[in-house]
Structure 1
Amino acid sequence: MTEIALGAPIWADSLTSDLAADTAFYEGLFGWESENAGPDFGDYTTFGIGGRAVVGIMPCPPGMRPSKSWGLQFKVASCDTATEQAVRLGATVTAPPESVGGMLRFAMLEDPNGASFGLVEALDETTGFGVWGEPNSVSWAEYHVDGVPAEAMRFYQDLLGWNVVVPPWEDPANPRPYAALSPGGGGAEFGGCHAAEGFEQGLPPQWSVMVAVDDADAVCARAKDLGGSVAAEPMDVPGLRVAGVAAPSGTVVSIHSPRPWE
């Protein structure tokens, strides 16, 4: 089990229009094991590596839309208190606080920019990511906004106590510099926010969940063989090769690998 600091990402999941197809796809793509909780829990399916939880999916309930990407949730001490504070800071509640057995209490919201996120109060010490940062597990959370990253992250800074820092490699002349994110109580960086460029400028602000892989190009090729598709062709960014793959249902997940020559 991995230690999850308050304010850090604690879980990621999605709603699927085809549970069977997406389950087989993720098992084949990342080598994950799956465990279906059964009809009493809406057939919620958890994926894992060696018994350690990675992410989850569940069939899309009637009246709701399948996920375009995995949703990201952050750890809080009290879901109810944090939800109330989020509303005071300008967020909108899309699903009020609700308990899931004795495991967790969660709420879903939209931040002031309209990006979806969740708040999770862990009622059981095993709740959340059992692995983070290893190959074929979630390793990063990235936000894009058509604006100044640090300004967009102020909401989360006020709500979750994050450290929001401009990294030393950023160009001092950049009016919209990258913002690196880490828990306020200490801990490693878990994500970042960048200014939207290119096609992103036509998209609403949103979080992307990123999975570490050994070879982004090979994973893209495998996604096609498994009935999925490539949503964003592999491209190089500083230190990484990144891409986006879509499950048979259309849900997109970002992947990244070291650049081959580095």
Structure 2
Amino acid sequence: MQNPFVHGVGGVLSADIAVPDHEREVDFYTKILTTGEAPLWRDDLMNNLGTPIIGLGARTPEYDSLPLQWMPHFQVADVAASAASAIEMGGKELMHGKDDDGQSQWAVLVDPDGAAFGMIPVPPSESNTSQDVRQGCISWLSLAVPNASSSRDFYQHVIGWNANSIEPEESEGLVAKFLMKIDHETSAAEIHQLGSEQNEIPSVWLIYLPVDDFVESLRCVNKSGGKVIKEFAEAKYAIIQDPAGVYLALQAS
């Protein structure tokens, strides 16, 4: 089962980004996410249940050090220990939030290939919404890297995931593919290594956001200053760029 949107170590409940031309970006995401008769997202970019999932902030001097890419927030058992492990394995810490007692509350890092991500403690348990209820959430994560085995090892140590090696389909053009697992049943993300001839996507975490009307959302991407990079019609998802050049994926709900 693929479901990163869970409480627990390795799960991801949210993601954020700090963008230039904030009004333009808000307008873009509002148009592409609120399509269909039963939109999964609201005009204020909360999901249809009123839960904040994606944070679209203005790029102020405080955030100048952050890469221009969506940063998923991974839940970890110990933020300080995970941050130290990331640095030891070649990552870089960009920001680190601590409370008045010096206890780590969150951190923002980049991995050795430049993919940015945040880390937070596992939040207090909440009653999970029924899987039958359609809601806006982060439905999947993927990362294309030069060396999938090295990235697998990095995220296993830093986040606490397990990994399953998957034999890529010939049509995928992949050298290697790993499913990063929260537990034995639930996968949170995919790390894959592209063939040398494929360099369309940089090494960034792609967040997948479900939409109610996939076709209309892709039309809105092109009409609103974004770009559809590649559509996978059979799997019903597409990799896009927003007007600022940021990569993400849209998925039919």
- Provide the residue aligned with 2:178 in structure 1: 179
Structure 2 vs 1, CA of residues 123 and 215 (structure 1 numbering), >3 Å: closer, same or farther? closer
* Matching residue within 231, 234, 248 for 2:231: 234
TM-score (norm 1): 0.74
Which residue identity does 1:247 align to in structure 2? Answer: D
Which residue identity does 2:80 align to in structure 1? Answer: D
Structure 2 vs 1, CA of residues 107 and 65 (structure 1 numbering), >3 Å: closer, same or farther? closer
Number of aligned residue pairs: 235
SS at match of 2:191: strand
Using CA pairs under 8 Å that are at least 6 residues apart, name the structure with larger relative contact order, 1 or 2.
Answer: 2
Structure 2 vs 1, CA of residues 65 and 248 (structure 1 numbering), >3 Å: closer, same or farther? farther
TM-score (norm 2): 0.76
Root-mean-square deviation (CA, aligned residues, Å) is 3.4
- Provide the residue aligned with 2:240 in structure 1: 245
- Structure with greater proportional strand content: 1
Residues 8 and 122 in structure 2, CA contact (< 8 A), matched pair in contact too: no
Separation in 1, partners of 2:175, 2:231: 24
SS at match of 1:53: coil
Q: How does 1:84-99 map to 2 (within 5 A)?
A: 84-98=84-98
Matched, 1:13 2:13: no
| Structure 1 residue 230 displacement after superposition | 1.7
Separation in 2, partners of 1:131, 1:230: 34
Separation in 2, partners of 1:99, 1:58: 22
* Matching residue within 25, 33, 41 for 2:42: 33
Separation in 2, partners of 1:52, 1:228: 27
Per-residue CA distance 1:55-110 (angstroms, 9 max, x = gap): 1111001271785431122101221222122222322111123459xxx9211112
SS at match of 1:177: strand
- Provide the residue aligned with 1:52 in structure 2: 51
Q: Which runs of 5 or more residues in structure 2 are unaligned?
A: 35-40
* Matching residue within 210, 213, 235 for 2:211: 213
Which residue identity does 1:56 align to in structure 2? Answer: G
Structure 2 vs 1, CA of residues 202 and 231 (structure 1 numbering), >3 Å: closer, same or farther? closer
Q: Which runs of 5 or more residues in structure 1 are unaligned?
A: 36-45
Residues 207 and 248 in structure 2, CA contact (< 8 A), matched pair in contact too: yes
- Provide the residue aligned with 2:162 in structure 1: 163
Separation in 2, partners of 1:199, 1:67: 25
Residues 109 and 116 in structure 1, CA contact (< 8 A), matched pair in contact too: yes
Identity %: 19
- Provide the residue aligned with 1:64 in structure 2: 64
| Structure 1 residue 134 displacement after superposition | 4.7
Structure 2 vs 1, CA of residues 24 and 113 (structure 1 numbering), >3 Å: closer, same or farther? closer
Residues 49 and 135 in structure 2, CA contact (< 8 A), matched pair in contact too: no
Residues 34 and 48 in structure 1, CA contact (< 8 A), matched pair in contact too: no
- Provide the residue aligned with 1:77 in structure 2: 77
Which residue identity does 1:92 align to in structure 2? Answer: K
SS at match of 2:187: coil
Which residue identity does 1:234 align to in structure 2? Answer: E
Which residue identity does 1:119 align to in structure 2? Answer: M
Per-residue CA distance 1:200-231 (angstroms, 9 max, x = gap): 53764221111123554321102234x23224
